[in-house]
Amino acid sequence: SDDPMFRRLTRGREGLFRDVTNEFFASLCLRRFDIVRCQRLAGTSRWLYLLRKK
């Protein structure tokens, strides 16, 4: 991830999170939620998800 806070939070555990992508995150969410909306936050590399429980 190119998000500085994510890198800070996962420092020392990079191997656990190297394959985490927005697509992977969304696929996990879809197991229990419907994705109502997903949008990139302007000026950042962060995404905001609105989820509804299935």
pLDDT per residue rounded down to tens, the chain (54 residues)? 678 888 899 999 988 888 888 999 999 999 999 999 999 999 988 999 999 999
pLDDT of 8 reads 92
Residue 43 and residue 20: Cα distance in Å, rounded?
Answer: 21
pLDDT of 2 reads 79
How many separate domains does the chain show?
Answer: 1
Domain that holds residue 34: 4-53
Phi-psi region of 47 (alpha: psi -120 to 50; beta: other; left: phi over 0): beta
